[in-house]
Amino acid sequence: FELYLDSADLGAIHALSASLPLAGVTTNPTILASSGQGLQQWLPALADIFRGQLRVHVQVVAVTTEAMVAEALELAALPYDIVVKIPAHAPGLAAIKQIKRQHDIPVLATAIYHVQQGWLAALNGADYLAPYLNRIDNLGQDGLGVVGDLQALIDRYHLPSKLLVASFKNVQQVLQVLKLGVASVTLPPDIARAMLAAPATDRAVEAFSLDWRGVHGERLSFQ
Ligand code: E4P
């Protein structure tokens, strides 16, 4: 299983990586723009913090197939572990097809709202498929249903792609997709923090600590 943070906030990534077994981070142009840094500053800063151990998903911003392929090649040539994100619409699917037939570059098909987009991206060889769970729900449609159908197609046809489910707005959504057997999810930092929060455990630990310290002081003693 691969767990990602959906963020370009280096402070948040660093802080959350202490408790989370992160495979890497995912970004999109909106997320990267909010970091206030260009890729040429942000990528080395991320690599410095994690010594190159994190996988980074970076989206193309070009709009034509030809320009998306060119950007993908540029990203893949950088000295980082980059997965190139390409939108799963017609020009993007054409770019994915071209890239996967001609180059050995990891690709994620992004902005998936419909099952058929994910299926076609998988047939074109996309390594990851990113359905936008909460955004689908916000259209009055069934995000969990789309994720479940895609997972069923991957399993049934032994497709080469893994689901990397994106766009979460609460912990319940995350737990629901995990039950479907998806290969990866990407969490916004606030959802990651919500998953780490356990106030009842905090209270229990505080009570244990008070009871122990009342008798023995601050630490375990073996004498
Ligand atoms: C993935 O990287 C997507 O760009 C992202 O998860 C979309 O999430 P949002 O709906 O919170 O913007």
pLDDT in tens, 67-117: 999 999 999 999 999 999 999 999 999 999 999 999 999 999 999 999 999
Phi/psi of residue 112, nearest 5 degrees: -90, 120
How much distance in Å is there from the Cα of 213 to the middle of ligand 1?
46
We report the CATH number of the domain holding residue 177 as: 3.20.20.70
Is 85 labeled as catalytic in the residue annotation? yes
Domain count, the chain: 1
User: Which residue type, as a one-letter code, is found at position 81?
Assistant: D
Please choose from 5, 85, 167, 186 the residue to mutate so as to test ligand 1's pocket, defined by most ligand atoms within 8 A of CB: 167
Interface TM-score (ipTM) > 0.90? yes
134 falls within a domain: yes
Confidence check: pLDDT of 52 > 80: no
User: Which residue type, as a one-letter code, is found at position 127?
Assistant: D
Query: Around 200, how many Cα atoms within 13 Å sit in the side-chain half-sphere?
Result: 0
Closest by Cα among 107, 106, 175 to 147 = 175
How much distance in Å is there from the Cα of 150 to the middle of ligand 1?
18
Cα→Cα distances 192→35, 41, 91, 121, 187, Å: 18, 25, 33, 28, 6
Structure tokens that stand for 207 in this block: 């009570």
pLDDT in tens, 100-159: 999 999 999 999 999 999 999 999 999 999 999 999 999 999 999 999 999 999 999 999
Q: Is the CB of 167 under 6 A from ligand 1?
A: yes
With cut-offs at 50, 70 and 90, classify the pLDDT of residue 222: confident
31 falls within a domain: yes
220 falls within a domain: no
Ligand 1 atom index nearest CA of 85: 2
Find the mean pLDDT for residues 51-76: 95
65 falls within a domain: yes
Distance CA(79)–CA(68), nearest Å, equals 19
Mean pLDDT of the chain: 96
Domain housing 56: 2-198
